[in-house]
Amino acid sequence: MNIMKMMKQAADMQKKMGALQEELAGRTVEFSSGGGMVTAVARGNLSIERVKIDPKVVDPGDVEMLEDLVTAAVDGALAAARDLAAAEMKKLTGAMGLPPDLGLPI
């Protein structure tokens, strides 16, 4: 086993992971709840970009329903962002001949 080769591969992977993190921060996924009444948009770096709420769902007498819809939309958007990040990481680790389930942070 050539230690210099391994160190170069590790440095290359670190560089590629940094580039992937930047790319994911610029990509978005979207999830809607309540039949499209509430939509959350998340970035691939697991941050929420925005939440859209249809004015028809805003009822001062039923704030709990709106809270549930927002929570569902945000949860769905974050799940989609995690799936996106995992798929991109699998491409990166697979291209380097590494197992896809290394649990490396994005």
Cα 24 to its chain centre, rounded Å, is 7
Average pLDDT of the chain, as a whole number? 87
Residue 86 has pLDDT above 60, yes or no: yes
Q: Is the dihedral of CA 99, 102, 104, 106 positive or negative?
A: positive
Sorting pLDDT into bands at 50, 70 and 90, what band is 28?
very high
Angstrom distance (rounded) from CA 74 to CA 47: 10
Alpha-helix runs per DSSP H in 52-95: 63-95
Q: What type of residue is 18?
A: G
Contact between 40 and 74 under an 8 Å Cβ cutoff? The reply is yes
Q: Which domains does the chain have, with CATH numbers?
A: 24-95 (3.30.1310.10)
Q: pTM for this one?
A: 0.74
Angstrom distance (rounded) from CA 78 to CA 56: 25
